[in-house]
Amino acid sequence: MLRYGDPGQIAAAATELEALGYSALWIPDVGGDLFGPLASLLAATTTATIATGILNVWMHTPEETATEHTRLTAEHGPRFLCGIGISHRPFIDHVNAPGTYQRPVETMASYLDGLDAAPTPLAAGNRLIAALGPKMLELARTRTAGTHPYLVTPELTAKARAGIGPDGLVASELGVVLETDPTRAREIARLHLRTYLGLPNYSNNWKRQGFTDDDIADGGSDWLVDALVAWGDEAAIVARVQEHRDAGADHVCVQVLTSDPTALPVDEWRVLAPALVTA
C-alpha cells in the first residue's frame, strides 16, 4: 500500500499513520526502486519503524542493501528494519530466467554472508527473514533478529515462535477486511489471495497445518480464507490480532484489504486505529 502510487499521498498517509499510533509501516518489494520509497517514508515520520516485508534477495545485492541501510540509518536514525525474503520460484523464474530460483536456504545463507562481509555490514539485529519452513526458521534464529511470516494462521505463528526461540522477534502479517457481511468480506479476501494461492511456498506451509489441495483450489475454501484473513467489525479484527499475539507474535503487521487494492485504505486505518493501537 505504501510502496506504489502518488508519493505525496503516501508520505501524507505515513505521517497520519504515525500520528494515529501505528508503530511500524511495512512495504513490499517486487522490483524497481525500493530504497527511494523507504527514504520517503522515513522522512515523513519521526518515530515509526519502517520495515521491508520483504526485500527480495534476487533483486538487490547484499552490498547495495547494506550500504543503503547504513545511509538511511545515518539520515533518519535506527528505524529501518530490513525484512528479507527468498520470494517464489514462479515469480523469480518469470522475471529473470527459468531456473534462476534454486536452493532457497543456501541462497539466503549466502545473502546473509554478503551482508556480514559488506564494507558497512548490516547487523543481524537489524534484519529479519520471512521464514516459513523449519530450515529457514533455523537460519532466521541463528543469523537474524527473527522472522516476518506472511499469510499465516495463529497456529503457524506458534510454529514460527517455536522455530525462532523465546528471544527472537516474530512479526506476523495478517490481512484484515473491515466488513461484517461474510459474502462481501470473503470476496475481498479472495481478491487479495488469488495470486498467493498458486505459490508453493505458501501452499506447502498451509498443508503442514492440515489444509488440502481442495482448500487451496478455486479461490480457496471458506475455511482457508477465514483462517488467513480476519474480517468483521473492529472487535472481531482485534480478537484475531490477539490470537496471533497469544500464539507468540511480538508484533502483528495488519494489512487492510478493500475492494480496490490500488487505493490507500485511509478510512479503514482511521477506524481501526483506536482499537488496534491500544489492543
Domain boundary among 113, 148, 183: 148
Residue 160, amino acid: A
Domain identity same for 125 and 173: no
Supply the range of the domain harboring residue 35. Answer: 1-148
pLDDT, residue 163, reads 97
- Structural domains of the chain, count: 2
Q: Where is the domain boundary, 98, 118, 148? A: 148
Q: Do 118 and 8 sit in the same domain of this protein?
A: yes
Q: Is residue 254 situated within a structural domain?
A: yes
Between the CA of residue 104 and those of 8, 85, 201, what are the distances in Å?
37, 10, 11
Together in a domain, 69 and 142? yes
The answer as to whether 271 is a domain residue is: yes
Q: Are residues 10 and 112 in the same domain?
A: yes
CATH of the domain at 44: 3.20.20.30
Residues 194 and 100 in one domain: no
Asked if the structure places residue 126 within a domain, the reply is yes
pTM of the model: 0.96
Q: Give the model's pLDDT for residue 66.
A: 98
Q: What is the pLDDT of residue 279?
A: 56
Whether residues 214 and 112 share a domain: the answer is no
- Please list the rounded mean pLDDT of every run of 10 residues in the chain (279 residues): 91 98 96 95 98 97 98 98 96 91 97 98 98 96 98 97 97 98 98 96 94 97 98 98 98 98 96 89
**Strand (E) positions, 125-279?**
127-129, 146-147, 169-177, 229-231, 251-256
Assign residue 6 a region (left: φ > 0; alpha: ψ between -120 and 50; beta: otherwise): beta
Whether 143 and 172 map to the same domain: the answer is: no
Residue 258 and residue 202: Cα distance in Å, rounded?
22
Residues 134 and 258 in one domain: no
Verify that 20 and 137 share a domain, yes or no. Answer: yes
